[in-house]
Amino acid sequence: MKYEIIVVGGGHAGIEAALASARMGKKTLLITILAEQIGAASCNPAIGGLAKGHLVKELDALGGQMGLTTDATGIQFRVLNESKGPAVRGSRAQIDMDRYRVAMRTLVLNTENLDVAQEIAESLTSKDGCVTGVITHLKNHYHAPKVILTTGTFLRGLIHVGEFRQEAGRVGEFAAYHLSESLKSLGLELGRLKTGTCPRIDAKSIDFSMMEIQPGDTPPAPFSFRTNKATFSPVQLPCYITYTNERTHSIIEGNFHRAPLFTGQIEGTGPRYCPSIEDKINRFRDKERHHLFIEPQTLEATEYYINGLTTSLPPDTQLEMVRSIRGMENAKIVRYGYAIEYDYINPTQLFHTLETKKVRGLYCAGQINGTTGYEEAAAQGLMAGINAVLSLDEKEPLILRRDEAYIGVMIDDLVTKGTKEPYRMFTSRAEYRLLLREDNATLRLGDYGYKLGLIDEESHKKTLKLKEQTTLGLALLHERFISPSKENTALLASMEEESAKDHMCLQKIVARKTFSVEKLPLLLLEAQGFSLEACEQIVVEAKYENYIQKQQEQIDKMSTLMEVKIPENMDFNVIGGLSNEIKEKLFSLRPPTLFAASQIGGMTPAALDILHIYIKMGSKN
């Protein structure tokens, strides 16, 4: 059975990889252990958040699916950090995890060029250093020149609940135990990571009157720029906030000796920024309480997820711990929390395209690369799918730079620095975050999505119109000036703005802290014909102009390094003046450009200059 691209795994990374491949015209096969679990939200019933919302918006601009399905199945929408600057705001949505899964599965099964096989991938086949296909547990041999692994937590997955252990990739689902050995036989280095989830509570047993209510935004803002804002009116359910207390902490501490995290039962490294509750209490014993967010899992709200209470403690301890929490005194646990260990590959073994360096045609995306989170996985899946197709078509790959997208930051971090713990996206990881805002994702990346054939003509025209109005508005703000005349003073007073102190361009007025989007059409009459999105762009760009300009200057300084490509098969041993450490890192990481080389730990300006000179000499020869 021959295909052009095979995707292994039906999670968030696998869905985006398979959809991108099929939509770009390639005959694609998605191999997954359980077809009904395609798109399952294994952990929290939410999409987005700080920095993660950026990834979803960028994925959407490129033609990915996650944002659209979130809009269709969301049950609460909120913008986090709304009171802070636009660069650090993050969109987040509670999803109906059942409807999300059904919607994604239905879409996958109805997508042209895309087949689904419910089987377990056991080994990869290869020839002359190139992948040639996949063999499953049913001994079916599927042939393809490109294979994308999106295995999530299924590679030798091992679940822990107290002393209980179970080989599984998710509760009730088989783990993939033979594929790890196949990867090792191909020369890939594997490590071990750990993540976890929390208890799920029967809604009937929760006293919500004892908790703080947390409603969604009114009006709610959709994730996808392709969702019609005018008709977007989802049913929104509230979340609730409660807290751990001294009794909770005492129960947990009194059972440290039964916690797999501390007994040595768990070998894998857990996520630093999303620790289990037992890890939190151990590390931050001075804190009197910890926030807990009580979140509905479906529109019917029959079960609630306790965000902030990830645990692998024994079942009796979990119940005692939960019932010590305000509003949970009579709680009934429907599903116990657990930890799960799984194999991953060191991501420095990948090119920026997410193709492995040792096996050509083999790509990896998602948790197999050491990341954590649905959004990080989906973004990698999309990029792996896109680049696999471009490689088949013998076209230049799509490698997003650090100044272009959070996706570019994430992938560059992974392949140049690697990770020994689950990697999570943060706004602080992006040097140019004022340029990489959620609100301008489609302006930054929409052209790519359209050229790849993943964004339709109508949506692209919408982006072009937004870009046109934004450019025109900013130009007019710089071209037009205002003086402190009586007429102008009266105009500004009507907007509750102070008079112009001297002859100044309109941009200086808009840059004031007191100036809001609603005032723009009063100051700039042309803006009355602009969309709200364009007005928002104009005001943000005007307010942060000086900071944006400084970041742009930094990027311009680095542009020469970004443009200089390092030959793929360059022999770094023959370059005099480079230390053995630098040579080893260059051989291991194989950075595609001088800029990527500059991000390698230990790379000095002098070493970068030597490398640059050698590349120039080679190009002349």
CA distances to 35, 63, 490, 499, 508 from 487, in Å: 68, 48, 5, 10, 18
Residue 86 has pLDDT above 90, yes or no: no
Amino acid symbol at 299: L
435-447 pLDDT per residue, tens: 999 999 999 999 9
- Residues recorded for the chain: 621
pTM over 0.85: yes
- What are 463-466's contacts with CB under 8 Å, separation 24+? 463/225, 465/531, 465/534, 466/442, 466/531, 466/533, 466/534, 466/537
Mean pLDDT, residues 418-426 taken together: 92
Residue 253 has pLDDT above 70, yes or no: yes
Q: What mean pLDDT, rounded, does the chain reach?
A: 94
Answer yes or no: are the C-beta atoms of 453 and 24 closer than 8 Å.
yes
Residues 545, 397: Cα–Cα separation, whole Å: 32
Residues 613, 615: Cα–Cα separation, whole Å: 5
92-131 pLDDT per residue, tens: 999 999 999 999 999 999 999 999 999 999 999 999 999 9
Mean pLDDT, residues 1-26 taken together: 98
Q: Which of 398, 342, 402, 407 is CA-nearest to residue 370? A: 342
Amino acid symbol at 237: L
| pLDDT score for 619 | 64
Answer yes or no: are the C-beta atoms of 409 and 428 closer than 8 Å.
no
| pLDDT score for 562 | 66
Give the strand pairing for 158-161 and 481-482. unpaired
Residue 559 has pLDDT above 80, yes or no: no
Mean pLDDT, residues 193-215 taken together: 97
| pLDDT score for 612 | 85
The encoded tokens of residue 471 equal 């450019």
582-620 pLDDT per residue, tens: 888 888 888 888 888 877 877 777 788 888 888 888 766
CA distances to 29, 360, 370, 517 from 129, in Å: 22, 6, 24, 56
Min mean pLDDT across 222-236, 263-277, 343-357 is at 263-277
Question: Pick the residue with more confidence: 118 or 576?
Answer: 118
CA distances to 172, 238, 350 from 216, in Å: 33, 6, 40
Which domains are delineated in the chain?
5-194+341-451 (3.50.50.60), 200-340 (2.40.30.260), 457-544 (1.10.10.1800), 564-620 (1.10.150.570)
* High-pLDDT (> 70) share of the chain, %: 99
